[in-house]
Copies of this chain bind each other. A is one copy, B any other.
Amino acid sequence: MNDHGLSATAKVILGLLGSRPRSGYEIKAAVDRSTRYFWAASYGQIYPELRRLAEAGLIEGTDAPTGGRRRTVYELTNAGRHALGEWHREPPERFDYRDEAMLKLFFATAVEPAGAAGIARQRAEMAAETAEELRAVEAESPGSDQPGYAVLRFGIDFNEFVADWFERQALAFEEGVPLRKLPRPEAAEIEGER
């Protein structure tokens, strides 16, 4: 819970229920199909959160079994729709970025300078693959110029940027640029020492 009282998972649930009612299973499927790249959620978060949101009166569940298979479909209440609107109007605050390749690169001078190019190259390949995946998704999705589609475009553009950046870095490392002058290893720390 934070300021506005919505957990990370509550935000994506409310947002998805904003377009139509869904079961927990469908929410998870929708997340995996769409927001996963920038806002993930697992069953361990979704089901308990659905219960909490229902208790808080922001969503309402209805039994909708398919045959003998039990199933609960949730939809926004008025309060829920209001909370979603409130959240949407607030300035966005959360932004996390965590990248292990970057950490390895950062320590490369002290650990294994010769490995830097390889690390950069691998990261470039990873990003290129993700971009490829997303381009495939784009190809099979109906063209659209809406914000939801823009988000997919960002995924593609961003991964292409990353692939390009790391590829150029790898080349620079290979050409010996990084190994010419080697001051104290800790000079690599962003503000230097003191």
Contacts and interface: CB of A to CB of B under 8 A. Distances in A.
A46 interface: no
A18 B95 contact: no
B113 A147 contact: yes
Contact of A15 (B103, B126, B162, B180): B103
B98 A95 contact: yes
Interface string A6-44: 001001100100111000000000100111011110000
A72 interface: no
Contacts of A165: 154, 157-158
B39 A99 contact: yes
Range, interface on chain A: 35 or more
A41 B136 CA distance: 36
A89 to B, nearest CB: 7
B148 A106 contact: yes
A89 B157 CA distance: 29
Count of identical protomers in the assembly: 2
A151 B96 CA distance: 16
Contacts of A169: 150, 154
A50 to B, nearest CB: 18
A38 B94 CA distance: 14
B15 A97 contact: no
Contacts of A38: 97-99, 102-103
A85 interface: yes
Contact of A35 (B106, B110, B142): B106
Interface of A: 8, 11-12, 15, 18-20, 30, 33-35, 37-40, 84-85, 87-89, 91-113, 115-116, 119, 122-123, 126, 137, 140-142, 144-152, 154, 157-158, 161-162, 165, 169, 172-173, 177-178, 180-192
